[in-house]
């Protein structure tokens, strides 16, 4: 199958937006840390989801065809569009609640509802590709990978925001000692995000191995969707360079071997770029492995 670039960027930006919002809600509403990033993280999330939605319409050739697709409630496009719309509404309501200084309990409830919608939307994105006619896609491992990938991107996105906040807090602390507590809290939040990123990277590695195993044992074996093609064939550079190096080794090394308080800003930015590139690499590989079984019938 040829690479469907609009769908690559659709699922990538949806994953980035959902991961950022869920990470922000967990950190700020559930753990009560770094609440100063709530507005900017939610804004980034809704913009990312909007960009993803616009990318999706480009896949149809003519955007007006979206209305025809929405006439079929059981279609993947209908489910994705509905979940994106509901999540967008939830994030807007959450932003309004923050703007009006709503109570912590109210913000937590609204944020949690949005986080649940974000998780469902990310899973639906991956589940839309689960098809019996395409053996390499016919597994629930695919939507699980989309979930884990969103978690990885979300961790690094939140990490960038926290590093930016920490820099501002440090500068402010020089003239306002009352900000010392806020700086300490931001550092604790950054440490939590770092651990979460490493856990998410480990889970991504596990799910990636599971996906390769599925490809190896999937019915109707064919060279176009074989593990050999991925590990040593024309997809090897994409797999080893994009998924393993940029998707696992580089971000893990940045968060462990080279990570210090003095350079955390640049490292999380490099890590975010790295995992975004890996997200594109996986989606490209997925499409290139998407040959059907029609030649057997």
What pLDDT was estimated at residue 46? 96
CA-to-CA distance for 197 and 183, rounded, in angstroms?
21
User: Does 5 lie in the same domain as 46?
Assistant: yes
Do 122 and 137 share a domain, yes or no?
A: no
Using the predicted structure, report yes or no on whether residue 25 has a pLDDT greater than 60: yes
Structure tokens at 36: 């100063």
Which among 81, 111, 128 is the end of a domain? 128
Provide the b/e sequence for 247-277 (b: ≥16 CB within 10 Å): bbebbbebbeeebeeeebbebbbbbbebbbb
Looking at the structure, do residues 142 and 265 belong to the same domain, yes or no? yes
Q: Which pair of tokens denotes residue 184?
A: 């300490």
Cα angle 279-241-195, degrees, rounded to a multiple of 5: 55
pLDDT digits (tens, 9 = 90+) for 113-169: 999 999 999 999 999 899 988 999 999 999 999 999 999 999 999 999 998 876 665
The reply to whether 139 and 109 lie within a common domain is no
Cα separation, 181 vs 120, whole angstroms = 36
∠ Cα 105 107 108 (to 5°): 65
Same domain, 119 and 136: no
The pLDDT assigned to 90 comes to 97
Q: Are residues 158 and 270 in the same domain?
A: yes
- Residue ending a domain, choose from 111, 128, 145: 128
Instruction: Looking at the structure, tell me whether residues 101 and 208 fall in a common domain.
Output: no
- What is the pLDDT, as a whole number, of residue 178? 44
Are the C-beta atoms of residues 224 and 289 closer than 8 Å to each other? yes
The domain total for the chain is: 2
Contacts of residue 88, defined as CB under 8 A and 6 or more positions apart, other chains included, come to 46, 49, 50
**Residues 149 and 113 occupy one common structural domain:** no
Domain stop point among 104, 128, 152: 128
113 and 162, same structural domain? Answer: no
Over residues 167-204, the pLDDT tens digits come to: 665 544 444 444 555 567 778 888 899 999 999 999 99
- The parent domain of residue 290 ranges over 132-297
Same domain, 237 and 203: yes
Q: How far apart are CA 151 and CA 105, in angstroms?
A: 25
Q: How far apart are CA 294 and CA 204, in angstroms?
A: 31
Task: Let me know whether 64 and 154 are in one domain.
Answer: no
Alpha-carbon span 94 to 110, nearest angstrom: 6
Greater model confidence, 241 or 164: 241
Question: Does 35 lie in the same domain as 82?
Answer: yes
């Amino acid at each position: 199958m040829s690479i469907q670039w609009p769908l690559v960027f659709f699922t990538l930006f949806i994953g980035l937006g959902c991961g950022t919002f869920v990470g922000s809600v967990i950190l700020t509403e559930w753990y009560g840390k770094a609440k100063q990033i709530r507005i900017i993280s939610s804004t980034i999330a809704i913009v990312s989801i909007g960009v993803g939605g616009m990318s999706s319409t480009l896949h149809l050739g003519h955007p007006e065809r979206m209305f025809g697709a929405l006439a079929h409630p059981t279609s993947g496009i209908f489910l994705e569009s509905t979940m994106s719309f509901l999540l967008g509404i939830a994030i807007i309501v959450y932003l309004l609640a923050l703007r009006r200084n709503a109570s912590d309990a109210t913000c937590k409830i609204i944020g949690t509802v949005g986080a649940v919608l974000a998780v469902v939307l990310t899973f639906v994105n991956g589940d839309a590709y689960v098809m019996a006619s395409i053996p390499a896609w016919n597994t629930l491992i695919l939507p699980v990978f989309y979930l884990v990938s969103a978690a990885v991107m979300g961790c690094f996105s939140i990490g960038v925001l926290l590093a930016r906040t920490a820099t501002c807090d440090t500068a402010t602390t020089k003239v306002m000692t009352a900000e010392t507590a806020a700086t300490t809290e931001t550092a604790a939040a950054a440490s939590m995000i770092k651990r979460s990123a490493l856990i998410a990277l480990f889970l991504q590695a596990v799910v990636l191995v599971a996906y390769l195993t599925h490809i190896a044992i999937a019915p109707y074996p064919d060279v176009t969707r074989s593990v050999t093609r991925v590990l040593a064939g024309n997809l090897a550079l994409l797999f080893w360079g994009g998924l393993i190096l940029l998707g696992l080794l580089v971000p893990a090394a940045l968060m462990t071997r080279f990570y210090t308080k003095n350079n955390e800003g640049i490292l999380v930015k490099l890590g975010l770029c790295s995992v975004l590139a890996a997200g594109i690499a996986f989606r490209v590989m997925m499409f290139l492995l998407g040959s059907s079984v029609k030649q057997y019938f």
